[in-house]
Structure 1
């Protein structure tokens, strides 16, 4: 069943008023009619099974049939701090990372980051990133829309590390095995830091360690930056029983 995110203030007296871009999608793409059902999620962990009552050019009014907790949210809250990659790789990471279960994305620039975003284009880029994440969250039945932060500098990322409960920096030249780090970490909030195509410098790794990050290794094979973030995220959530790792 089609799923749409709404804000809690769009729910009133067992009625939901859908506005914005979703109106076009429901009316013209899905060709929905009164009596059709859909699911609305308030972004705070509640799903509303609703029936369309009225369609207007600017809004769609629905009647709430049932309210239930969202089931698509992992207990482990992983933020992917991703050095800006070339091309459209970040968009791929945002989409697939949302599907897998990341709760936040923090793009950053480091010494070997090739991509430089023109400050005049930052707003447009950020809007696109947020749209990609929203659509991926709807498709994958998430209970929230993951946050996409605006790109930060390396120094700003170091401050994020200092305030993080658990921070890991993926380092191709060695580190603690990811499985060991997972076994030792009690926190359900993890900051996962992934470098650019050229990797981190030794100085950056040392600075990250000084700020509180633990270098981790993802194995003997060298992974592309877009592979590393998604592979590590999958391993973390699987180990924490948030991705099909449940046992009887």
Structure 2
């Protein structure tokens, strides 16, 4: 069944209002008619089965038939901190990461980031990143749209570590601790914290510097490896995310 995310302000006690691009898709693409049913969510965990009752030129109204249980949300909150990569790679990370189950995306600038940061351009890109997260959440039938933050500095990212229950930094030169071993050793402890928060930091195309790894560890991060093969930055983000969710039984058991 088709799913749409709408602002909380358009989500009433017994009725909803669908406008903008969502209304265009519902009315022009899906050719919805009065009486058709869709799932509507506020993007924060509130889902409802809605029956379309009024169709306007650029909007549609519907009555809430039933409140639905939250579905598609993992039992662990994973924050993907991704150093800004070249081209549209971050779009891939956000789209696929949303489908897999990430809750939050934290783009950041690191020493080897090659992208020339332009605040004005990034503001436009941020809108696009958030729209990609919304569309991917609809496609994946999630109840929550992941947050996509404006790019952070390295120091700003490190300041977020105390807000998490576990923070990991993926480092290709890490020969000791591998991600699976760390997760296996900490899963039981984290499971006792209700819904744990895990941050996974991924470096740019050139990787993290030794200085950055040391700073991350000093701030509370654990350095982990992702195996013996060198992964592209966008691949590393998705592999790490999937591995963490797998350890929590979120990848089909």
TM category, shorter: over 0.9
Taking only aligned residues, the RMSD between alpha carbons, in angstroms, comes to: 1.3
Which residue does the alignment assign to 2:109? 109
Partner of 1:138: helix, strand, or coil? Answer: helix
1:92 aligns with 2:92: yes
TM superposition shift of 1:13: 4.1
Q: Which deviates more, 155-164 or 19-28?
A: 155-164
TM superposition shift of 1:184: 2.7
Partner of 2:159: helix, strand, or coil? Answer: helix
TM-score (norm 2): 0.93
Which blocks of at least 5 consecutive residues in structure 1 are unaligned?
Answer: none
Partner of 2:206: helix, strand, or coil? Answer: coil
Query: Residue 44 of structure 2 contacts residue 145 of structure 2 at CA under 8 Å; is this kept in 1?
Result: no
Question: Counterparts in 2 of 1:153-168, with a 5 A limit?
Answer: 153-168=153-168
Q: Which deviates more, 91-100 or 111-120?
A: 111-120
Map Cα deviations across residues 19-46 of structure 1 (whole Å, 9 max, x no partner).
2221111111111111111110122323
TM superposition shift of 1:99: 0.1
Query: Residue 47 of structure 2 contacts residue 69 of structure 2 at CA under 8 Å; is this kept in 1?
Result: yes
Which residue does the alignment assign to 1:44? 44
Which residue does the alignment assign to 2:231? 223
Q: Which deviates more, 127-136 or 26-35?
A: 26-35
**Distance in 1 of aligned mates of 2:213 and 2:44:** 36
Which blocks of at least 5 consecutive residues in structure 2 are unaligned?
Answer: 191-195
Partner of 1:117: helix, strand, or coil? Answer: coil
Number of aligned positions between the proteins: 245
Which residue does the alignment assign to 1:11? 11
Q: Which deviates more, 7-16 or 199-208?
A: 7-16
TM superposition shift of 1:164: 2.6
Partner of 1:231: helix, strand, or coil? Answer: helix
TM-score (norm 1): 0.95
